[in-house]
A and B are shown apart, each in its own frame.
Chain A
Amino acid sequence: MSKKTSGVNRNFFHFQRKYLAFPYAVFLILFVIIPILIIVFYAFTAEEIRPDGSIVTVFPRVESFVNFFSNWSKINVLFVSIFIALQTTLLCLLIGYPLAYFLADKKVNKNAVLVTLFVAPMWINFVLRTGATRDLLTWMNINGGNAPYLATLIGMVQNYLPFVILPLYTTMLKLDKSQIEAAADLGANPVQVFFKSILPQSVPGIVSACTMTFMPTMSSYVISDTLSEGKITLFGNYINLEFSNKAWNDGSFMALIMLAIIGISMLLTSNTGEKEESRGAGLW
């Protein structure tokens, strides 16, 4: 008898617990899914002026598509953004990888506070930090006037380094020490140990570090705007420009391209993860 009632109770409650997610789901649909659908819609519509002077929105139209692909400067900006984002990611990895390795090595660093210190700049306002970097670089005579590209790159690396350090540090902590020691004991030189044991083990950290820097670098426009004094235009700058011009259709199309790039990079990274797994399986 008691078993039965508790069963009924549980079923009834199970129903309720599940529905705690209802407001969350509704919020996601309203403010994540629908906005994306709306930019898809806007990307393929155009505003048309009727003979009587009223403006109507027409769907489907390919004006934004044509505007984008017939405009060399826009395509150029896309490639420059990808290039700068790649460079920033690479530089951040080159600086951040050894750093994370040393931070995670108990022989070098016993102090966990240091890791927090490396992430702490994120708590100082981002725009203020960018401004500080600009003012310092101006003092050092690296400014938008004489070296816009270098200044932008320095600002980017400065800002996104914490995003690289954190995931790399987490994977470095999980490195299989006995495997590394075994490799050394079995006669591998330090270079071989690095390429055959440490590097393959840290691939997941590298992948997540890349995704955490690449996309924000492409879409952030404050850093390039401030540090290059408006001389370097990234994809984010262009979307912002469409926003200020209230060119919703063209802007939506560019946001859509951005989304597509995000999707592609997600697909690529999930493939890397799978390859890693199958490679591991192949070993055995």
Chain B
Amino acid sequence: MVKKIFGQIYIWLILLLMYLPVLVLIAFSFTEATNVGEWSGFTFDLYPALFQDDAIMRALGNTILVAFISALVATLLGTLGAVGTFYSKKRTKKLIEGTTQISIVNAEIVIAFSLTVMFVFLGTYVFKDYIFSFWTLLIGHVVLALPFVYTSVKPKLQQMDPSMYEAALDLGAKPSTALTKVVLPEILPGILSGFLLSITLSLDDFIITAFTRGSGLLSGAGKIETLSTLVQAKIKKGPIPVEMRALTTIIFLLVVTGVIVISIYRNKKENAAKVRKGRVNA
């Protein structure tokens, strides 16, 4: 009993401490004072101001675009890679898995720096031009996400019943049909979680973005500004800009909604599993 009470207090206390900075920021999104801790009267004005702030809106657009495009590319490449490697010879498999492992454990700053040096090298000796653009940024984000897509899809392939594919072939399905109708549905959950993970990694990334970005997307001729780089530039000079407090509230609400949706989905799945079990027992 004591353990239960102590455990619960501990859990909620740490949870509170983890969310405290964000919660404080949210509380102060209803006042216009520059510094957190100062209160100059209750107002909703920061919310409309947020949507009128071109720089923030552009950065938000860039962030979402980069996240979706890089996640799509990484998911496609990573899934194909996982399927292909699964059916490869042992030696090829070992080589590919080893390289995947390297990019998982590699520090973000080493990935960023090595890519940048390569782009500089290519720019100086091959293209004879400055090559940093949306494409170099995209490559950076795909490198970041790719190994995680691979590792989400791989276990689903291992769990799959290998005779299903053979059965499909024996029943007259073309190999391509067998792949899309038999293998694909089996590994779909892995592909989906890989995609979501890629989006998360890309949205959250700062270092690779700061190193590999060039001009393009909504930023036009200027360097691509994402939410991370924009916030970093601002907080270097002073407190978080007031409009961004309103943005924090919105992001927080989205995250909470996400958590609720996930838990509902999980409960449903668990209940379904229970029902199935019950039937088997009956």
Residues of A within 8 A of B (CB): 6, 9-10, 13-14, 16-25, 27-29, 31-36, 38-39, 42, 95, 98-99, 102-103, 105, 107-109, 112-114, 116-118, 120-136, 138-139, 158, 161-162, 211, 215-216, 218-222, 225-226, 236, 239-240, 243, 246, 248, 251-252, 255, 258-259, 262, 266
Min Cβ gap B237→A in Å is 11
What are 18 A-to-B residue pairs whose CB atoms are below 8 Å?
A17-B175, A22-B84, A34-B118, A103-B11, A112-B263, A118-B18, A123-B200, A124-B248, A128-B227, A131-B244, A136-B20, A138-B36, A219-B107, A219-B110, A226-B236, A239-B109, A255-B113, A262-B105
Report the bound CA distance from A219 to B208 in whole Å: 12
The list of the 10 closest CB pairs from A to B, nearest first, reads A24-B81, A21-B84, A20-B84, A35-B114, A108-B7, A139-B37, A132-B21, A102-B7, A219-B107, A13-B175
Q: Which of B92, B114, B248 is most buried by chain A, counting CB atoms within 10 A of its CB?
A: B114
- B77, A108: Cβ atoms closer than 8 Å: no
Number of A-B contacts (CB under 8 A): 266
Interface string of B195-235 (1 = CB under 8 A from A): 00000100111110001000000000000000111011011
- Nearest-CB distance from B7 to chain A (Å)? 4
Whether B206 contacts A222 by the Cβ 8 Å rule is yes
Assess whether A255 is in contact with B259, with CB atoms less than 8 Å apart. no
In the complex, B22 has a CB within 8 A of chain A: yes
Quick check: A108 and B11 within 8 Å, CB to CB?
A: yes
Query: Number of B residues contacting the other chain (C-beta, 8 Å)?
Result: 90
User: Quick one: which of B235-258 are within 8 Å of A by CB?
Assistant: 235-236, 239-240, 244, 247-248, 251-252, 255-256, 258
In the complex, what residues of A have CB within 8 A of residue B207's CB? Answer: 219-222, 236
What is B's interface to A at a CB cutoff of 8 Å?
3-4, 7-8, 10-11, 14-15, 17-22, 24-25, 35-37, 77-78, 80-85, 87-89, 92, 96, 99-100, 102-103, 105-111, 113-118, 120-121, 139, 142-143, 146, 150, 166, 169-170, 175, 179, 200, 203-207, 211, 227-229, 231-232, 234-236, 239-240, 244, 247-248, 251-252, 255-256, 258-259, 262-263, 266
Who on chain A is nearest to B116 by CB?
A243
User: Which residue of chain A has its CB nearest to the CB of B124?
Assistant: A57
Contacts of B227 in A (CB 8 A): 125, 127-128
> Are B11 and A259 within 8 A (Cβ)?
no
Selected from B84, B146, B229, B255, the residue in CB contact (under 8 A) with A17 is B84
B109 A32 Cβ-Cβ under 8 A? no
Contact B7 A109 (CB under 8 A): yes
- B85 contacts across to A, CB distance below 8 A: 21, 24
If A121-B22, A158-B21 touch, does A251 touch B113 (CB 8 Å cutoff)?
Answer: yes
Please measure, in the bound complex, the distance between the C-alpha atom of A30 and the C-alpha atom of B251, giving whole angstroms. Answer: 35
Tell me the complex Cα distance, A221–B99, Å.
26
Contact B83–A99 (Cβ < 8 Å): no
**Chain A hits for B234, CB < 8 A:** 131
Given contacts A21-B88, A32-B103, A135-B36, contact A128 B251 (CB under 8 A): yes
A contact residues around B203 at 8 Å (CB): 123, 125
Residue pair B80, A21 in contact (C-beta under 8 Å): yes
Query: Given A135-B36, A158-B21, do A218 and B259 touch, yes or no (CB 8 Å)?
Result: no
